[in-house]
Homo-oligomer: A and B are copies of this chain.
Amino acid sequence: MGEIERRLAERELVLPAVFAAPPGMRMTFDRVRIDGTVAYVSGHGPMDGSRPLMVGKVGDPLAGDWLSQEAGYEAARLTALSVLASLKHELGELDRVTGWLRLLGFVNVAPGFTATPPVINGFSDLILELWGDRGRHARSAIGVAELPYGIPVEVEAVVRVDGR
């Protein structure tokens, strides 16, 4: 077992099934596209295979039927686990990810919800916990109108991988 997977196990974190298109949708893109020692990771959400683990917009739960900021944070953490499942599937082991470069995070926002960085922190925190300094990355966190299947968070990434 590699170092990253040991750290996942220490935290009792289990990777979900690899992201797949929901029934009736064709998946015309690759989860991960490797180009030399750079891997481009497609936008992922809090999915277990083709099943969304959370749906809904993030906002003030007192003002409407919205997910709280804390639930959004959890969605972003689950999104990171889905990305790790795709990277493990593609690379064989997660230790082959030698550095994180860039995240682009989208939050499915209710009107007026602007605390998008604390939501995407759920993704960044897990990466930093697992990779330490090699997990440090540039990032944007944007509030958007709609996300696929109604998921609350979507994140894409660029990472460096060993050239094996």
Residues on A facing B (Cβ under 8 Å): 21, 25-33, 35, 40-43, 99, 101-104, 106-107, 109, 111-118, 121, 124-125, 128, 136-150, 154, 156, 158, 160
28 pairs from A and B in contact (CB 8 Å cutoff): A25-B115, A28-B121, A29-B124, A29-B138, A30-B138, A32-B138, A33-B136, A35-B99, A35-B101, A40-B137, A40-B158, A42-B138, A42-B139, A42-B140, A43-B139, A43-B141, A104-B104, A107-B146, A109-B145, A111-B145, A112-B146, A114-B146, A114-B147, A114-B148, A114-B149, A116-B148, A143-B147, A144-B144
Q: How far is the CA of A106 from the CA of B145 in the complex (A)?
A: 11
Please name the residue on chain B nearest to A149 by beta carbon.
Answer: B114
A119 to chain B, nearest CB (A): 10
A40 to chain B, nearest CB (A): 4
Set B26, B109, B112: member contacting A121, Cβ < 8 A: B26
Q: How many copies altogether?
A: 3
| Complex contact B30–A116 (CB within 8 A) | no
| Complex contact A144–B143 (CB within 8 A) | yes
Q: How far is the CA of A19 from the CA of B107 in the complex (A)?
A: 22
Residues of B within 8 A of A32 (CB): 138
Residues of B within 8 A of A150 (CB): 114
| Complex contact A116–B146 (CB within 8 A) | yes
Q: How far is the CA of A116 from the CA of B117 in the complex (A)?
A: 23
